[in-house]
Amino acid sequence: MSTHDYDVVVVGGGPGGYVGAIRAAQLGLRTALVEREALGGICLNWGCIPTKALLHSAAVLRTCRDAAAAGVSIAGAVEANLAVMVQRSRGIAGQLGRGVAHLLKKHGVAVIEGEARFGAGAALQLADGTALRARHVVLATGARARVLPELPPGERIWTYREALVPRAVPASLVVVGAGAIGMEFACFYRALGSAVTVVEAAAQILPQEDAEIAAVARKAFEAQGIRIHTGCRVAAARVGPDDVTVTLAGAGAPAPLSVERVISAAGIVGNVEGLGLEHTAVAVRHGHIVTDALGRTAQPGVHAIGDVAGPPWLAHKASHEAVLCMEAIAGLPVHALDPRRIPACTYTFPQVASIGLTEARAEAWAREHGRALRIGRFPFAANGRALAAGEGSGLAKTIFDAASGELLGSHVVHAEASELIGAHAVAMGLEATEADLMASVAAHPTLGEALHEAVLAAQGVALHV
């Protein structure tokens, strides 16, 4: 048995793990990263990046189909080449994976292929018995798709992995789960011609988003031909040789649906198994490791970040947590991450992006603290840049504390929502008030003017609506 000594060992090479390892190395800590599969984790290899590559291909397809409205004639039929789309998606993931390997090498991080777990006395070791002695261990093992008992994965019931590398476009499919992952796949396959039905147990699609914004998005999705059933769950799924028959339960549930494929996108669970946590004081609750605001667990010297440490399940949250965790280990002064200031983006057609409190949560906060709210709305139909780009649908919405002017929430549904939300993420980080945002100047013509008008609308002084 051999032994290797480090200041920090990171277990898991996803967006939390590899970013944390790089930051630890920058801080002068002897760092190792253990990864059992592929650097970049699920996000880079099977999540954020490859899905966005496929969605870009679908967006190009949609643009070509709508070219005539912009005065552009395209000779011949506009067709999707699925094999090329998938190949491009996998190629981008591979390119970025190689980039992560280069960055780790550049910063002197020791990359170890394999699995690490705790043994007796909370000692960390590899499967071959190699001991990894470290003052600090950071668990960044991520999460995996939740498997519903009614939907065991197989040839006709897909998880996100199978949905990312299809050999053919299904003529019909049911997507179970109307969160970000489910709705992104629904939009992708609908753009390619599949008959898509979405099933969601909650009362609205995109359950974590503002209800008004989700309703605008739903209207847009249904206009594309996506059928949506909320307040319904899968009661049973019978797999046949050529189809899957899905039976739904709930108010207004339709008759059983017969489709070629089912995509199960009903959430995720943390990868807490196989880590030997029983040999430590680390606590697990609801499938996730319990930590404090800086990633520390109940076991001294053991930390957890990212999806394995609970929601929000976002790559950028994991990366930011990783930096804070490593800086705290190094003894630097750090401020705990405020979950309310983490933007979330869904790359559907149109996109949905948000930061802070929804209207319902803001109203609950206001009641609890005896405060009043100011809410502003501005439609992109009144924005010149949006109309010029042929993207005049959507809504920008802002929520303020009436007394202090604090920006409590910002919500956008529009084709470029993911790029717009960053402005209000910065504003929240700087604690900019309603007055500060009103005094800012948005260039004309830009989509950013819609955010500015939504701020003005909260004061009842919007200029263009």
Contact 181, 267 (CB under 8 A): no
- Phi then psi dihedrals of residue 62, to 5 deg: -65, -40
- Residue 41 makes CB contacts below 8 A (sequence gap 6+) with 12, 13, 14, 15, 16, 17, 18, 35, 47, 142
Residue among 286, 335, 369, 444 flagged as catalytic: 444
Q: Cα(100)–Cα(13) distance, rounded to whole angstroms? A: 9
- The CA dihedral of 185, 186, 190, 194, to the nearest 10 degrees, is 90
Handedness of CA 35, 38, 39, 40 (dihedral sign): negative
What is the number of residues in the chain?
A: 465
Beta bridge partners of 23: none
Burial call 413-435: b when 16+ CB within 10 Å, e when fewer: bbbbbbebbebbbebbeeebbbe
Q: Cα(154)–Cα(158) distance, rounded to whole angstroms? A: 6
Q: Cα(367)–Cα(384) distance, rounded to whole angstroms? A: 38
Amino acid at 47: G
* 191 burial type by CB count under 10 A (0-12 exposed, 13-18 middle, 19+ buried): buried
Ramachandran quadrant class, 48 (left: phi over 0; alpha: psi -120 to 50; beta: rest)? alpha
* 284 burial type by CB count under 10 A (0-12 exposed, 13-18 middle, 19+ buried): middle
Q: Cα(259)–Cα(246) distance, rounded to whole angstroms? A: 8
Look up residue 247 and give its two tokens: 């039976």
Question: Would you call 279 a catalytic residue per the annotation?
Answer: no
DSSP 245-308: EEEEESTT--S-EEESEEEE---EEE--TTS-GGGS---EETTEE---TTSB-SSTTEEE-GGG
Beta bridge partners of 125: 117, 131
Pairing label, strands 3-11, 31-35? parallel
According to DSSP, residue 406 is labeled B
Q: Cα(24)–Cα(325) distance, rounded to whole angstroms? A: 9
Angle between helical axes of 417-429 and 448-458 (0-180°, round to 10) = 50
Active site residues: 444
